Structure 1
Protein backbone atom coordinates (compact mmCIF):
# COMPACT_ATOMS: atom_id res chain seq x y z
CA UNK A 1 0.00 0.00 0.00
CA UNK A 2 1.48 3.36 -0.94
CA UNK A 3 1.93 6.15 1.62
CA UNK A 4 -0.78 8.38 0.12
CA UNK A 5 -3.41 5.61 0.29
CA UNK A 6 -2.27 4.70 3.79
CA UNK A 7 -2.61 8.35 4.90
CA UNK A 8 -6.13 8.52 3.47
CA UNK A 9 -7.10 5.35 5.37
CA UNK A 10 -5.66 6.69 8.63
CA UNK A 11 -7.48 9.99 8.47
CA UNK A 12 -10.99 8.68 8.10
CA UNK A 13 -11.23 8.41 11.90
CA UNK A 14 -7.83 9.85 12.84
CA UNK A 15 -9.37 12.51 15.07
CA UNK A 16 -11.09 9.83 17.13
CA UNK A 17 -7.93 7.87 17.97
CA UNK A 18 -6.44 8.16 21.44
CA UNK A 19 -2.76 8.82 21.99
CA UNK A 20 -2.32 5.21 23.16
CA UNK A 21 -3.97 3.90 19.99
CA UNK A 22 -1.64 6.03 17.86
CA UNK A 23 1.36 4.74 19.81
CA UNK A 24 0.23 1.10 19.57
CA UNK A 25 -0.84 1.36 15.93
CA UNK A 26 -4.09 -0.53 16.47
CA UNK A 27 -7.55 -0.21 17.97
CA UNK A 28 -9.64 -2.66 19.96
CA UNK A 29 -13.34 -2.96 19.21
CA UNK A 30 -14.81 -4.59 22.33
CA UNK A 31 -18.21 -5.08 20.63
CA UNK A 32 -16.79 -7.29 17.88
CA UNK A 33 -13.77 -8.56 19.83
CA UNK A 34 -11.45 -7.47 17.03
CA UNK A 35 -8.13 -5.66 16.98
CA UNK A 36 -7.54 -3.59 13.83
CA UNK A 37 -4.39 -2.00 12.46
CA UNK A 38 -4.98 1.75 12.12
CA UNK A 39 -2.61 1.97 9.17
CA UNK A 40 -4.01 -0.68 6.82
CA UNK A 41 -7.17 -1.96 8.51
CA UNK A 42 -6.07 -5.58 8.86
CA UNK A 43 -8.18 -7.21 11.56
CA UNK A 44 -7.42 -9.89 14.13
CA UNK A 45 -10.33 -11.57 15.91
CA UNK A 46 -10.15 -12.12 19.65
CA UNK A 47 -10.34 -15.81 20.59
CA UNK A 48 -8.34 -16.98 17.58
CA UNK A 49 -4.71 -18.00 17.89
CA UNK A 50 -2.46 -16.65 15.13
CA UNK A 51 0.75 -18.47 14.15
CA UNK A 52 3.81 -16.30 13.45
CA UNK A 53 7.32 -17.71 12.91
CA UNK A 54 6.94 -20.82 15.05
CA UNK A 55 5.08 -18.91 17.76
CA UNK A 56 1.39 -18.64 18.55
CA UNK A 57 -0.10 -15.22 19.33
CA UNK A 58 -3.35 -13.89 20.71
CA UNK A 59 -5.20 -11.39 18.52
CA UNK A 60 -3.72 -8.40 20.36
CA UNK A 61 -0.16 -9.71 20.15
CA UNK A 62 -0.71 -10.63 16.49
CA UNK A 63 -1.85 -7.12 15.55
CA UNK A 64 1.05 -5.66 17.53
CA UNK A 65 3.51 -7.86 15.61
CA UNK A 66 1.73 -6.97 12.36
CA UNK A 67 2.30 -3.24 13.00
CA UNK A 68 6.02 -3.91 13.62
CA UNK A 69 6.56 -6.25 10.68
CA UNK A 70 4.34 -4.68 8.01
CA UNK A 71 4.71 -1.00 8.86
CA UNK A 72 8.01 -0.84 10.73
CA UNK A 73 6.18 0.16 13.91
CA UNK A 74 3.88 3.07 14.54
CA UNK A 75 6.79 5.51 15.00
CA UNK A 76 7.87 4.86 11.42
CA UNK A 77 4.44 5.63 10.00
CA UNK A 78 3.71 8.62 12.26
CA UNK A 79 7.11 10.28 11.69
CA UNK A 80 6.56 10.11 7.93
CA UNK A 81 3.19 11.86 8.00
CA UNK A 82 2.86 15.12 6.11
CA UNK A 83 3.64 18.32 8.02
CA UNK A 84 0.00 19.39 7.53
CA UNK A 85 -1.02 16.42 9.69
CA UNK A 86 1.72 16.09 12.31
CA UNK A 87 2.96 19.68 12.44
CA UNK A 88 6.63 18.68 12.54
CA UNK A 89 9.32 20.22 10.37
CA UNK A 90 11.84 18.00 8.58
CA UNK A 91 14.52 18.99 11.12
CA UNK A 92 12.24 18.07 14.03
CA UNK A 93 11.45 14.75 12.36
CA UNK A 94 15.17 14.09 11.91
CA UNK A 95 15.94 14.91 15.55
CA UNK A 96 13.07 12.70 16.74
CA UNK A 97 14.25 9.85 14.52
CA UNK A 98 17.74 10.08 16.01
CA UNK A 99 16.27 10.16 19.52
CA UNK A 100 14.10 7.14 18.70
CA UNK A 101 17.22 5.30 17.53
CA UNK A 102 18.91 6.25 20.84
CA UNK A 103 21.68 8.21 19.09
CA UNK A 104 23.81 10.40 21.33
CA UNK A 105 24.33 14.14 20.71
CA UNK A 106 27.66 13.60 18.97
CA UNK A 107 26.12 11.19 16.46
CA UNK A 108 23.22 13.59 15.83
CA UNK A 109 25.66 16.50 15.31
CA UNK A 110 27.67 14.54 12.77
CA UNK A 111 24.66 13.12 10.92
CA UNK A 112 22.88 16.46 10.63
CA UNK A 113 26.01 18.60 10.32
CA UNK A 114 24.95 20.91 13.16
CA UNK A 115 26.56 21.98 16.45
CA UNK A 116 25.97 20.37 19.84
CA UNK A 117 24.29 23.57 21.02
CA UNK A 118 21.82 23.36 18.13
CA UNK A 119 21.01 19.74 19.01
CA UNK A 120 20.39 20.74 22.64
CA UNK A 121 18.17 23.62 21.48
CA UNK A 122 16.11 21.29 19.28
CA UNK A 123 15.75 18.80 22.15
CA UNK A 124 14.69 21.61 24.51
CA UNK A 125 12.12 22.88 22.00
CA UNK A 126 10.69 19.38 21.52
CA UNK A 127 10.34 18.95 25.31
CA UNK A 128 8.63 22.36 25.48
CA UNK A 129 6.23 21.34 22.70
CA UNK A 130 5.52 18.10 24.58
CA UNK A 131 4.58 20.00 27.75
CA UNK A 132 2.41 22.41 25.77
CA UNK A 133 0.70 19.54 23.94
CA UNK A 134 -0.14 17.79 27.24
CA UNK A 135 -1.74 20.94 28.60
CA UNK A 136 -3.64 21.51 25.35
CA UNK A 137 -4.95 17.92 25.37
CA UNK A 138 -6.02 18.27 29.01
CA UNK A 139 -7.79 21.55 28.29
CA UNK A 140 -9.61 20.21 25.26
CA UNK A 141 -10.63 16.99 26.99
CA UNK A 142 -11.87 18.94 30.00
CA UNK A 143 -13.82 21.34 27.82
CA UNK A 144 -15.41 18.46 25.92
CA UNK A 145 -16.11 16.08 28.79
CA UNK A 146 -16.41 18.04 32.05
CA UNK A 147 -19.74 16.91 33.61
CA UNK A 148 -19.96 20.14 35.61
CA UNK A 149 -20.03 22.16 32.41
CA UNK A 150 -22.53 20.00 30.55
CA UNK A 151 -25.44 21.01 32.83
CA UNK A 152 -24.72 24.72 32.97
CA UNK A 153 -26.10 27.48 30.83
CA UNK A 154 -23.78 29.76 28.88
CA UNK A 155 -22.81 32.84 30.89
CA UNK A 156 -24.53 36.03 29.96
CA UNK A 157 -22.28 38.88 28.94
CA UNK A 158 -22.40 41.73 31.40
CA UNK A 159 -20.23 44.70 32.07
CA UNK A 160 -18.88 43.01 35.22
CA UNK A 161 -17.54 39.94 33.30
CA UNK A 162 -14.19 41.67 32.86
CA UNK A 163 -13.96 42.24 36.61
CA UNK A 164 -14.96 38.61 37.26
CA UNK A 165 -12.25 37.37 34.87
CA UNK A 166 -9.65 39.59 36.54
CA UNK A 167 -10.58 38.38 40.02
CA UNK A 168 -10.37 34.71 38.90
CA UNK A 169 -6.70 35.19 38.09
CA UNK A 170 -5.98 37.17 41.25
CA UNK A 171 -7.42 34.38 43.39
CA UNK A 172 -5.15 31.81 41.68
CA UNK A 173 -7.99 29.34 41.23
CA UNK A 174 -5.98 27.49 38.60
CA UNK A 175 -4.17 24.17 38.82
CA UNK A 176 -2.16 23.76 42.08
CA UNK A 177 1.08 24.11 40.12
CA UNK A 178 0.17 27.71 39.36
CA UNK A 179 -0.89 28.67 42.88
CA UNK A 180 2.65 29.56 43.85
CA UNK A 181 2.57 32.45 41.38
CA UNK A 182 0.71 35.73 41.59
CA UNK A 183 -1.01 36.83 38.40
CA UNK A 184 -1.42 40.54 39.13
Structure 2
Protein backbone atom coordinates (compact mmCIF):
# COMPACT_ATOMS: atom_id res chain seq x y z
CA UNK A 1 0.00 0.00 0.00
CA UNK A 2 1.43 3.39 -1.04
CA UNK A 3 0.43 5.63 1.89
CA UNK A 4 1.81 8.72 0.19
CA UNK A 5 -0.39 8.12 -2.85
CA UNK A 6 -3.37 7.27 -0.66
CA UNK A 7 -2.93 10.55 1.23
CA UNK A 8 -2.84 12.77 -1.85
CA UNK A 9 -5.75 10.96 -3.49
CA UNK A 10 -7.97 11.31 -0.42
CA UNK A 11 -10.80 13.83 -0.17
CA UNK A 12 -10.54 16.96 1.97
CA UNK A 13 -12.93 15.43 4.50
CA UNK A 14 -10.80 12.27 4.73
CA UNK A 15 -7.65 14.37 5.03
CA UNK A 16 -9.21 16.30 7.92
CA UNK A 17 -10.16 13.04 9.62
CA UNK A 18 -6.78 11.48 8.91
CA UNK A 19 -8.11 8.16 7.66
CA UNK A 20 -10.14 6.55 4.88
CA UNK A 21 -12.63 3.73 4.81
CA UNK A 22 -11.43 1.00 2.44
CA UNK A 23 -14.57 -0.80 1.28
CA UNK A 24 -12.66 -3.61 -0.42
CA UNK A 25 -10.62 -4.44 2.66
CA UNK A 26 -13.52 -3.56 4.98
CA UNK A 27 -11.17 -1.56 7.15
CA UNK A 28 -10.16 1.94 8.20
CA UNK A 29 -6.70 3.01 7.03
CA UNK A 30 -4.60 5.78 8.60
CA UNK A 31 -3.42 8.32 6.02
CA UNK A 32 -0.35 9.15 8.10
CA UNK A 33 1.24 5.77 8.78
CA UNK A 34 -0.97 3.14 7.13
CA UNK A 35 -2.26 1.62 10.38
CA UNK A 36 -5.33 -0.55 9.70
CA UNK A 37 -8.33 -1.37 11.89
CA UNK A 38 -10.68 -3.98 10.46
CA UNK A 39 -14.44 -3.81 10.52
CA UNK A 40 -16.22 -6.52 12.48
CA UNK A 41 -13.64 -6.45 15.26
CA UNK A 42 -13.78 -4.81 18.66
CA UNK A 43 -10.61 -3.19 19.96
CA UNK A 44 -9.62 -2.89 23.59
CA UNK A 45 -8.34 0.43 24.91
CA UNK A 46 -7.42 -0.04 28.53
CA UNK A 47 -10.62 -1.10 30.25
CA UNK A 48 -12.83 0.03 27.36
CA UNK A 49 -13.81 -1.69 24.11
CA UNK A 50 -14.25 0.47 21.02
CA UNK A 51 -15.33 0.14 17.38
CA UNK A 52 -12.72 0.11 14.57
CA UNK A 53 -13.52 3.69 13.56
CA UNK A 54 -13.33 4.96 17.14
CA UNK A 55 -10.02 3.11 17.55
CA UNK A 56 -8.72 4.86 14.44
CA UNK A 57 -9.81 8.26 15.75
CA UNK A 58 -7.96 7.61 18.99
CA UNK A 59 -4.91 6.44 17.02
CA UNK A 60 -4.85 9.68 15.01
CA UNK A 61 -5.00 11.77 18.16
CA UNK A 62 -2.72 9.72 20.41
CA UNK A 63 -0.05 8.64 17.92
CA UNK A 64 -0.01 11.60 15.52
CA UNK A 65 -1.19 14.47 17.72
CA UNK A 66 -4.31 15.11 15.65
CA UNK A 67 -4.55 16.13 12.01
CA UNK A 68 -4.35 19.88 12.61
CA UNK A 69 -0.93 19.51 14.19
CA UNK A 70 0.16 16.99 11.55
CA UNK A 71 -0.88 19.18 8.61
CA UNK A 72 0.55 22.33 10.17
CA UNK A 73 3.96 20.66 10.32
CA UNK A 74 4.01 20.08 6.58
CA UNK A 75 6.68 21.77 4.52
CA UNK A 76 5.84 25.35 3.50
CA UNK A 77 5.79 24.13 -0.11
CA UNK A 78 2.57 22.27 0.71
CA UNK A 79 0.89 24.66 3.17
CA UNK A 80 1.94 27.96 1.63
CA UNK A 81 2.05 29.38 5.16
CA UNK A 82 4.74 31.62 6.59
CA UNK A 83 6.11 30.95 10.06
CA UNK A 84 4.12 33.91 11.44
CA UNK A 85 0.88 32.69 9.85
CA UNK A 86 1.50 29.23 11.28
CA UNK A 87 1.92 30.66 14.79
CA UNK A 88 -1.27 32.71 14.49
CA UNK A 89 -3.28 29.74 13.22
CA UNK A 90 -2.06 27.60 16.10
CA UNK A 91 -3.32 30.24 18.54
CA UNK A 92 -6.67 30.40 16.76
CA UNK A 93 -6.96 26.62 16.88
CA UNK A 94 -6.47 26.72 20.64
CA UNK A 95 -9.46 29.05 20.85
CA UNK A 96 -7.43 32.08 21.87
CA UNK A 97 -8.98 35.52 21.35
CA UNK A 98 -7.30 38.23 19.29
CA UNK A 99 -6.09 39.86 22.50
CA UNK A 100 -4.68 36.60 23.86
CA UNK A 101 -3.04 35.83 20.51
CA UNK A 102 -1.50 39.29 20.34
CA UNK A 103 -0.13 38.94 23.87
CA UNK A 104 1.23 35.45 23.20
CA UNK A 105 3.02 36.43 19.97
CA UNK A 106 3.98 39.97 21.02
CA UNK A 107 1.79 41.56 18.35
CA UNK A 108 -0.84 44.28 18.33
CA UNK A 109 -4.50 43.29 18.22
CA UNK A 110 -4.91 45.11 14.90
CA UNK A 111 -2.11 42.98 13.43
CA UNK A 112 -3.84 39.81 14.61
CA UNK A 113 -7.16 40.99 13.12
CA UNK A 114 -5.35 41.67 9.86
CA UNK A 115 -3.94 38.12 9.90
CA UNK A 116 -7.44 36.75 10.48
CA UNK A 117 -8.85 38.76 7.56
CA UNK A 118 -6.07 37.72 5.16
CA UNK A 119 -6.40 34.05 6.13
CA UNK A 120 -10.13 34.16 5.42
CA UNK A 121 -9.38 35.69 2.02
CA UNK A 122 -6.94 32.87 1.33
CA UNK A 123 -9.60 30.36 2.33
CA UNK A 124 -11.97 31.85 -0.27
CA UNK A 125 -9.24 31.71 -2.91
CA UNK A 126 -8.47 28.10 -2.03
CA UNK A 127 -12.14 27.11 -2.39
CA UNK A 128 -12.40 28.75 -5.81
CA UNK A 129 -9.14 27.18 -6.98
CA UNK A 130 -10.21 23.75 -5.72
CA UNK A 131 -13.53 24.07 -7.57
CA UNK A 132 -11.66 25.04 -10.75
CA UNK A 133 -9.31 22.06 -10.48
CA UNK A 134 -12.17 19.64 -9.80
CA UNK A 135 -14.00 20.94 -12.87
CA UNK A 136 -10.81 20.57 -14.86
CA UNK A 137 -10.34 17.03 -13.57
CA UNK A 138 -13.88 16.09 -14.54
CA UNK A 139 -13.16 16.79 -18.20
CA UNK A 140 -11.91 13.91 -20.30
CA UNK A 141 -9.38 15.61 -22.54
CA UNK A 142 -8.06 13.57 -25.43
CA UNK A 143 -4.29 13.57 -25.58
CA UNK A 144 -3.93 14.72 -21.96
CA UNK A 145 -0.46 14.17 -20.42
CA UNK A 146 0.36 11.02 -18.46
CA UNK A 147 -0.68 10.89 -14.83
CA UNK A 148 1.85 12.71 -12.71
CA UNK A 149 3.86 10.90 -10.12
CA UNK A 150 2.86 11.67 -6.51
CA UNK A 151 5.76 13.20 -4.61
CA UNK A 152 6.66 12.54 -0.99
CA UNK A 153 4.81 14.90 1.36
CA UNK A 154 7.94 16.07 3.12
CA UNK A 155 10.05 16.82 0.08
CA UNK A 156 11.33 20.39 -0.30
CA UNK A 157 12.85 20.05 -3.78
CA UNK A 158 11.73 22.66 -6.30
CA UNK A 159 8.46 21.98 -8.10
CA UNK A 160 10.20 22.02 -11.48
CA UNK A 161 11.86 18.72 -10.62
CA UNK A 162 8.51 17.00 -10.02
CA UNK A 163 7.20 16.87 -13.58
CA UNK A 164 7.45 13.09 -13.46
CA UNK A 165 4.94 10.71 -15.01
CA UNK A 166 4.11 7.28 -13.67
CA UNK A 167 5.60 5.80 -16.84
CA UNK A 168 8.92 7.59 -16.22
CA UNK A 169 8.93 6.44 -12.61
CA UNK A 170 8.53 2.78 -13.56
CA UNK A 171 11.21 3.03 -16.25
CA UNK A 172 13.73 4.59 -13.84
CA UNK A 173 13.02 2.09 -11.05
CA UNK A 174 13.40 -0.82 -13.47
CA UNK A 175 16.69 0.58 -14.76
CA UNK A 176 18.31 1.41 -11.42
CA UNK A 177 17.09 -1.37 -9.10
CA UNK A 178 17.92 -5.05 -9.52
CA UNK A 179 15.55 -7.93 -8.81
CA UNK A 180 16.50 -8.04 -5.12
CA UNK A 181 15.69 -4.36 -4.56
CA UNK A 182 19.31 -3.20 -4.46
CA UNK A 183 20.21 0.06 -6.17
CA UNK A 184 22.64 -0.67 -9.02
CA UNK A 185 24.02 2.87 -9.14
CA UNK A 186 22.85 6.33 -8.12
CA UNK A 187 21.78 8.57 -11.02
CA UNK A 188 23.27 11.97 -11.75
CA UNK A 189 20.17 13.59 -13.24
CA UNK A 190 17.97 15.44 -10.75
CA UNK A 191 14.67 14.03 -11.95
CA UNK A 192 15.94 10.47 -11.58
CA UNK A 193 17.35 11.26 -8.14
CA UNK A 194 13.90 12.39 -6.99
CA UNK A 195 12.32 9.17 -8.25
CA UNK A 196 14.96 7.01 -6.54
CA UNK A 197 14.83 8.95 -3.26
CA UNK A 198 11.03 8.84 -3.20
CA UNK A 199 11.18 5.06 -3.52
CA UNK A 200 13.79 4.73 -0.76
CA UNK A 201 11.98 7.17 1.57
CA UNK A 202 8.91 4.92 1.44
CA UNK A 203 10.89 2.35 3.46
CA UNK A 204 10.61 4.57 6.54
CA UNK A 205 7.44 4.67 8.58
CA UNK A 206 5.96 8.14 9.23
CA UNK A 207 5.76 8.99 12.90
CA UNK A 208 8.71 6.77 13.81
CA UNK A 209 12.07 8.03 15.02
CA UNK A 210 15.19 6.16 13.95
CA UNK A 211 18.71 6.14 15.35
CA UNK A 212 21.61 6.62 12.94
CA UNK A 213 22.35 2.91 13.31
CA UNK A 214 18.77 2.05 12.34
CA UNK A 215 18.94 4.36 9.32
CA UNK A 216 22.23 2.86 8.17
CA UNK A 217 20.90 -0.67 8.64
CA UNK A 218 17.95 0.02 6.35
CA UNK A 219 19.91 1.95 3.73
CA UNK A 220 22.81 -0.50 3.44
CA UNK A 221 20.28 -3.06 2.21
CA UNK A 222 19.52 -0.66 -0.63
CA UNK A 223 22.92 0.71 -1.67
CA UNK A 224 26.57 0.19 -0.69
CA UNK A 225 27.14 3.93 -0.15
CA UNK A 226 24.39 4.29 2.44
CA UNK A 227 26.00 7.42 3.92
CA UNK A 228 25.51 9.24 0.61
CA UNK A 229 21.88 8.11 0.38
CA UNK A 230 21.26 9.25 3.95
CA UNK A 231 22.69 12.67 3.13
CA UNK A 232 20.57 12.98 -0.02
CA UNK A 233 17.39 12.05 1.88
CA UNK A 234 18.06 14.97 4.22
CA UNK A 235 19.27 17.43 1.57
CA UNK A 236 16.23 16.77 -0.62
CA UNK A 237 13.81 17.16 2.27
CA UNK A 238 12.61 13.58 2.60
CA UNK A 239 14.01 13.22 6.12
CA UNK A 240 15.17 15.40 8.98
CA UNK A 241 17.37 14.80 12.00
CA UNK A 242 18.10 16.19 15.45
CA UNK A 243 20.94 18.67 15.93
CA UNK A 244 23.24 16.00 17.36
CA UNK A 245 22.40 13.53 14.58
CA UNK A 246 21.10 10.91 17.01
CA UNK A 247 17.49 10.86 15.76
CA UNK A 248 16.00 10.79 12.28
CA UNK A 249 12.39 11.00 11.05
CA UNK A 250 10.43 11.57 7.85
CA UNK A 251 10.16 15.31 7.20
CA UNK A 252 6.35 15.67 7.32
CA UNK A 253 6.31 14.64 10.97
CA UNK A 254 7.97 17.83 12.20
* TM-score, with structure 1 as normaliser: 0.72
Residue 64 in structure 1 maps to residue 36 in structure 2:
no
User: Against the structure 1 CA distance between its residues 88 and 30, is the aligned structure 2 distance closer, same or farther, given a 3 Å change threshold?
Assistant: same
Q: Are 2:7 and 2:32, in contact at CA under 8 Å, matched by a contact in 1?
A: no
Q: Which has the higher helix share?
A: 1
Q: Separation in 2 of the partners of 1:43 and 1:117?
A: 46
User: 2 CA distance for matches of 1:11 and 1:31?
Assistant: 19
Q: TM-score of the superposition, structure 2-length normalised? A: 0.53
**Partner of residue 122, structure 2:** 129
The correspondence for 1:46, drawn from 39, 44, 54, is 39
**Residue equivalent to 1:99:** 92
Structure 2 stretches lacking a partner, 5+ long: 143-254
Structure 2 residue 14 is matched with structure 1 residue 21: yes
State whether structure 2 residue 85 is matched by structure 1 residue 83: no
1:108 aligned partner: 101
Task: Describe the SS at the equivalent of 2:57.
Answer: helix
Tell me how far apart the structure 1 counterparts of residues 3 and 82 of structure 2 sit (CA, whole Å): 20
**Which portions of structure 1, spanning 4 or more consecutive aligned residues, are displaced by more than 4 angstroms?**
none
Q: Distance in 2 between matches of 1:31 and 1:68?
A: 25
How many residue pairs get matched?
143
CA distance in 2, matches of 1:71, 1:59: 17
Larger relative contact order, structure 1 or 2 (CA cutoff 8 Å, min sep 6): 2
Report the alpha carbon displacement of residue 10 of structure 1 after superposing the two structures with TM: 5.8
1: distance between equivalents of 2:95 and 2:82? 20
Q: 1:151 to 1:13 in 2, by over 3 A?
A: closer
| Separation in 2, partners of 1:53, 1:120 | 44
- Answer whether contact 2:98 2:109 (CA < 8 A) is retained: yes
Q: Structure 2 CA distance, aligned partners of 1:25 and 1:91?
A: 25
SS of equivalent residue, structure 1 residue 28: strand
Aligned with residue 24 of structure 2, among 8, 31, 34: 31
Check the 8 A contact 2:64/2:70 in 1, yes or no: yes
- Looking at structure 2, the residues matched to 13 and 89 of structure 1 have their Cα atoms a distance apart, in angstroms, of 27
**TM-aligned CA deviation for residue 151 of structure 1:** 8.3
